[in-house]
Structure 1
Amino acid sequence: MKTATIPSICVEPAFMDEVARALAQNESLASFVETAVRREIQQRQAQAGLLQRGLAATRHNSAAAGIPAQVVIARLEAKLAAARQRK
């Protein structure tokens, strides 16, 4: 399998110093960058999955008969009143 390279980028010298200080013992800059890119991809995939599940839940709840907000608020207010009476 052929390999590909991630394009190099120009950064400020001060930032490059920060990166060098952040490297673990015996860690190369290339492995650090690869790890960072992989983590970012995983994070974005997780966010996309969360968004898709949220949109699907919204579509499902829109199609199904949900509980009206007024009913939910009334139930919460009743619980709060009961808790205040117990005090």
Structure 2
Amino acid sequence: MKTSTIPSLRVDPQLRLAAESVLRDGESLSGFVEQAIRQTIACRLADQEFITRGLKARDQARQSGQYVEAGAVLDRLQEMLDRAKSGPTTA
């Protein structure tokens, strides 16, 4: 696939200095912007996948008539969080 460019963007000099101040050694502002765009796209795709899975689960629950009480879900999530915070377990 042929590469293309992202249009130039005019910004206040202070914003450019702030952006340049967070660059890693050897990292360019263009590279930083490209990485930010890629991460944003990946997050959006993950959000869409999450919503799709949620809607599918909703539809399955409606079809089956089987639901889980919100309190039971929260209790299970709290148990998982407590276990994760307590660290690895030994077998």
TM-score normalised by length of structure 1? 0.72
Q: C-alpha displacement at 1:9, in angstroms?
A: 1.2
Instruction: Give the unaligned 5+ runs of structure 2.
Output: 72-91
Aligned-residue sequence identity (percent) comes to: 35
Instruction: Please show how residues 27-38 of structure 1 align to structure 2 within 5 Å.
Output: 27-38=27-38
* CA–CA separation in structure 2 for the residues paired with 1:12 and 1:5: 21
Which residue of structure 2 lines up, in the alignment, with residue 11 of structure 1? 11
Instruction: Please show how residues 3-82 of structure 1 align to structure 2 within 5 Å.
Output: 3-67=3-67
Deviations 1:23-71 (A, max 9, x none): 11110111111111000000000000000000110111111122485xx
- How well do the aligned residues superpose, as a CA RMSD in angstroms? 1.9
Misfit runs of 4+, over 6 Å: none
Instruction: Give the unaligned 5+ runs of structure 1.
Output: 74-87
What SS does the aligned partner of 2:26 have?
Answer: coil
TM-score normalised by length of structure 2? 0.70
**Richer in helix (by share):** 1
